[in-house]
Amino acid sequence: MSKTLILLIVLFSCCLSIVLSSMPDRPPLVNDSHDVLIYQKRGSWILSGQQPYRDVFSEYPQLATYLFAIPHVISNFLDGGRTYRYVFSLMMAICLSISTVLIYKLRPDQKYLAFLMFLPASVYFTHNRYDIVPSLFIVASLVLLFKERFYLSIFLLAISVMFKWYPVVLLPIFVSYYYSLYGRINWIMIGIFLISIILIIIPTILLIDWEGFIIPYLYHLQRGINKESLLYLIIAVFRYFGLYRAKVESYFVMAFLLFQFAVPVLSVFGKVNDKSKVIWWSASSILCFMLFAKFYSPQWLLWIIPFLILEARSQRDIIMIVLFDILTYIYFPISYGFSRGNFFAIFIAVIAAKTGFILYFFFHSFFKVYRDIGFLYKSS
């Protein structure tokens, strides 16, 4: 990709962000201020001189909480108010641009498919959420992994974990890829990953003690099942047929928690010996994590769409990505209001369709690598 094209992508993303931020918040078809206002509150500690987590509650990992403070610092030099929204969304737009360029670089052919990152839901959740940031660090870590710059790659993966926890499922795959290439476990990679995370979290522990540090972790562990998850759909079926019991729900929650990490564990026994398999195993791991989570959020689209784009080879693959993105936009913000109204059945139908897409993508990815799992099949 030429420098001119890179510059055009960045300029387009930034101009689009400014235009979108200038549009009304209601209805939330372009701007969804709910989460951005939460980010604004979580990052407000930077202006008051308070301590994050201790004085200003945050349910997010350390680097995310620090990230939310950056727009405050910039907008404080301007006029405040809605400036936070403009600055935040511009930062996310730049991340989207860089992600697109890196995906373009990673694709072996049909490089134009990288521009699927600009589909409606992907742009919407880039504009209104921060999930594009860990997604960017993951894509960057893949670029470095394939260049065999393993230590810097694993460092960026650790950085991504401290924005959102889900990238931890990729650690076994990165380590297995090295093992497949060189026939040994690279303990230094694992050490860099752990030390990087420790160095990021230790200031928080020292400043607000251990009990304060675990607040965001306890918050997420205590969250209930939301209506957008596969687990909710299964329990709803049990209720419909009169099979629901309180113990059934607790068993399902525990089983689903274990299933979330099943694919990364299986990857340890597989042959992750080329770039395509790294992509397939990574996509399977993230999709499995999404599928079996007890709550689901629509912005998780940004976790997986880079991998779906990197996987895409056929016209059907492209169509499925486009449909999944459009369906996600229909799910939120369009149909989400139905979850509290008289058209709840429509919302559930959309959620069921969304879950069907995730199942399709999961099996599409996993079927490409499951025969490499040593204790299930003999190595070919």
Q: In this structure, are residues 63 and 136 in contact, taking their beta carbons and an 8 Å threshold?
A: no
DSSP code, position 56: B
This prediction has a pTM of: 0.95
* pLDDT for residue 81: 60
- String of b and e for 212-221 (b: at least 16 CB within 10 Å)? bbeebeeeee
pLDDT in tens, the chain (380 residues): 899 999 999 999 999 999 999 999 989 999 999 999 999 999 999 988 899 998 999 999 999 999 999 999 998 777 656 799 999 999 999 999 999 999 999 999 999 999 999 999 999 999 999 999 999 999 999 999 999 999 999 999 999 999 999 999 999 999 999 999 999 999 999 999 999 999 999 999 998 888 778 888 888 888 889 999 999 999 999 888 888 887 778 889 999 999 999 999 999 999 999 999 999 999 999 999 999 999 999 999 999 999 999 999 999 999 999 999 999 999 999 999 888 778 899 999 999 999 999 999 999 999 999 988 876 665 44
* pLDDT for residue 380: 43
DSSP sequence for 311-352: H--SHHHHHHHHHHHHHHHIIIIITGGGGGSTTHHHHHHHHH
Distances in Å between the Cα of 40 and the Cα atoms of 44, 47, 146, 300, 315 are: 6, 11, 37, 20, 41
